[in-house]
Amino acid sequence: MAKIQALKSSFFTIMPIALFALLTGVIQSAEGQGYELTPVALKDVRVDDQFWSPRIETNRTVTMPVAFQKYEQRDQLCSTKMLEGASYSLQHPPDHPHRELQKVHHGELDNYLDGLIDRIAARQQDDGYISRNSDEMRWSRLSHSHELYGLGHMYEAAVAHYQATGKRTLLDVAIKSADLLCEVFGPDKKHDIPGHPEIELALVKLYGVTGNEKYIELTRFFLDERGHGHGRELYSHEGIVDYMQDHKPLVEQREAVGHAVRALYLYSGWTDVAAITGDAAYLKAIDSIWQNCVTKKLYIHGGVGVRWKGEAFGDNYELPNKTAHSETCAAIANVFWNHRLNLLHGESKYIDVLELTLYNRVLAGVSLDGASTFYKGPLACDGTFIRDTTLRNPIMDNMHCCVSNLVRIFPQIGRYIYAADNEGIYANLYIGGIGKISVKDKPVVLTQETGYPWQGTVKITVEPSKPTAFDLNLRIPGWCVGSSPVWGDLYRFAEKSIQPVVIKINGKTEKTLDMKKGYARLNRRWNPGDVVELILPMPIRRIYCHPNVKNNIDRVAIMRGPLVYCAEGVDHDGVALNLLLADDQKLRAEYREEMLGGVTVIRGQAGVLDSRQEETLLRQNRELTLIPYYAWAHRGLGEMAIWLKQK
């Protein structure tokens, strides 16, 4: 508690440069419906959480420095995602116990980024062009060159750096580059699109800072040009016609298809523009694609993209376990997209997907010590070594983009905790720390204290600057009260949760919950020091899969809270794939402080089936230990399974 008070005293002494407040202000004043919810600026949230703070710190002190060292050996444009992540890290002043050391680190990092930006700026030509390509190759191989993709990440980094430091050094480079794009591409100019989307969402961020509408016009051109092939062939790759989402106009698309990372970056930028313009055709298509993804193409750990060929979404209900591609970058992009959809529609079901993905597939992408990463995210492993799949690769040996993506998502976890509208505040994630949110033009400070995800009790202290009436909307997770952890019928719980959600205000229990779009709405006049207690039951829940997913017929998975669990062979004499969990087997949760950085495991009894003849039960009453999926592959190569055989 003393640490929380210290954080409060120093939190708001720094004037925020609120990019997302600027962005949202522009969106809300633009023609069209705009986002329903306002995101809270990253600088206005401090994470001080027993679960996430160590991971954010490891990212800052281990993953980021090693990754920068790695990317220094490559072209400077390849490190722009790293620069973005480092800029997010700079947005968090040194509030922790080793404050003086962190001040030194912030100063060194700031200076390092200045040098990196100087080198990027030195490569920019007078007309704004900046690329690894020669002048003769300008805009000539957009389907595969990643030319616009690289610029998009540079624009995102420029906005993040400006937000963190107030310096325009990289922002001015980005603006000059984007102005050139506006001169080159357009309805009466060059008709082409990026093979790898990213420039779209980056241009929207640049619009949010500058208010220059031509960046939105260019973004819309890139979106609307897909599937038309004006003067060019429609893009495909190795016979995969929908690989680049260019097989038909976007407004006619209804399924999540093609390269998963490309698709989700595209959908994110598209959602931004849909919010700004209120385009009904955009909104209809985006919503249909999301429904297809969540009800037919989403893994239980939040991963997406099943096929190794083309790193692509598969057919409906094509969700193999051992051969899942499920790239880390795709999971991170899934977080980005669902965050936007929550802001667009104001519904908690999108945060259910975001949380599932964040706590399971994203977190599994990096080792507990921060020094190695996963590229792929299988749901089963037979113990055979497969590079990028069954063991994490040391960062210095890893050439994949997932490293820089991981570096940039951890320091912006705070962005996803809160949102707001004209009537009040939305608490989306339950993560300890403090946030400052403007409600009816008045500042409100919220302090969260929680043992989540191991415990379901959340304490929120509400401190408006003066007594103020507003709504405090608490997300009630689907894993807690729903028939499924996420919207739709792809997954279902074996039984309903019979334990009620409890909300107390200043010690008094709310008799009924006013539910709206998945949030419990608390409407009252709030006084400084009011305390809300949210008690989310955390039963151990069995999950069954839709029968159309052939791989998971007669199999069961286990969740507790937001965490998906798995069995590892190291805990079961080398066996995981043939463990059998009886329907009536009682399971219990046990916290193991000494295990895997401190985890709650699931214990019980299991049988083992003969791998050659599944009808034969070799042994019953074997001790069963399930660990959170994010922590697998830390104890050597071996078998692993999320979906266990069911008796």
Report pLDDT digits (tens) over 84-95.
999 999 987 655
Residue 339 DSSP class: H
193 and 336 in a single domain? The answer is yes
The residue behind tokens 């996803």 is 416
State the DSSP H helix or E strand holding residue 608, giving kind and residue range, or none if neither.
strand 599-609
Give residue 80's pLDDT. 85
Give residue 13's pLDDT. 33
Give residue 415's pLDDT. 95
Query: Which residues, in sequence order, are CB contacts of 2 under 8 Å at separation 6+?
Result: none
Which domain-ending residue is among 397, 416, 435?
416
Residue 503 DSSP class: E
Q: Are strands 555-560 and 563-568 parallel, antiparallel or unpaired?
A: antiparallel
Report pLDDT digits (tens) over 34-67.
799 999 999 999 999 999 999 999 999 999 998 8
> Mean pLDDT, the chain, as a whole number?
89
Amino acid identity of 534? L
Residue 507 is part of a domain; what is its CATH number?
2.60.40
Q: Give the Cβ contact number of residue 112 at 10 Å.
A: 14
Residue 142 Cα to chain centre, angstroms: 27
Residues 557-580: what's their mean pLDDT? 96
285 within domain boundaries: yes
| Confidence class for position 619, pLDDT limits 50, 70, 90 | low
Report pLDDT digits (tens) over 137-157.
899 889 988 899 999 999 999
Angle between helices 402-409 and 328-345 (to 10 degrees): 40
238 and 281 in a single domain? The answer is yes
325 and 424 in a single domain? The answer is no
207 within domain boundaries: yes
490 within domain boundaries: no
| Confidence class for position 4, pLDDT limits 50, 70, 90 | very low
118 and 28 in a single domain? The answer is yes
354 and 436 in a single domain? The answer is no
245 and 318 in a single domain? The answer is yes
483 within domain boundaries: no
Report pLDDT digits (tens) over 307-341.
989 899 999 999 999 999 999 999 999 999 999 99
Report pLDDT digits (tens) over 383-406.
887 776 777 888 877 656 888 899
496 within domain boundaries: no
Domain span holding position 285: 2-416
Which domain-ending residue is among 489, 520, 535?
535
- Residue 576 has, within 13 A of its CA and on its CB side, a CA count of 27
| Confidence class for position 97, pLDDT limits 50, 70, 90 | very low
Give residue 14's pLDDT. 28
Which domain-ending residue is among 391, 416, 441?
416
- Name the least confident of 111-125, 278-292, 349-363, 396-410: 396-410
Residue 70 is part of a domain; what is its CATH number?
1.50.10.10
Report pLDDT digits (tens) over 448-498.
999 999 999 999 999 999 999 999 999 999 999 989 999 999 999 998 777
- Choose among 148, 74, 83, 72: nearest CA to 109: 83
- Choose among 195, 291, 306, 308: nearest CA to 243: 195
Per-residue DSSP letters for 118-163? Answer: HHHHHT--TTS---SS-GGGTTS-TTTS-HHHHHHHHHHHHHHHHH
Give residue 613's pLDDT. 53
Q: Is the pLDDT of residue 10 over 90?
A: no
89 and 125 in a single domain? The answer is yes
Q: Is the pLDDT of residue 579 over 80?
A: yes
Largest Cα span, the chain = 74
> How many structural domains are present in the chain?
3
Q: Is the pLDDT of residue 134 over 50?
A: yes
| Confidence class for position 131, pLDDT limits 50, 70, 90 | confident
491 within domain boundaries: no
Q: Is the pLDDT of residue 610 over 70?
A: yes
- Residue 534 has, within 13 A of its CA and on its CB side, a CA count of 28
| Confidence class for position 616, pLDDT limits 50, 70, 90 | low
Q: What is the 3 state secondary structure string of 362-388?
A: HHHCECCCCCEECCCCCCEEECCCCCC
Give residue 301's pLDDT. 98
Q: Where are the alpha helices (DSSP H) in 410-463?
A: none
486 within domain boundaries: no
Contact 43, 14 (CB under 8 A): yes
378 and 250 in a single domain? The answer is yes
242 and 361 in a single domain? The answer is yes
Indicate the SS3 state at residue 639.
strand
Give residue 32's pLDDT. 38
Q: What is the dihedral of CA 30, 32, 37, 43, to 10 degrees?
A: -20
235 and 291 in a single domain? The answer is yes
**CA–CA separation, 527 vs 27, rounded Å?**
31
386 and 448 in a single domain? The answer is no
221 and 334 in a single domain? The answer is yes
Helix/strand/coil percent split, the chain, to 5: 40, 20, 40
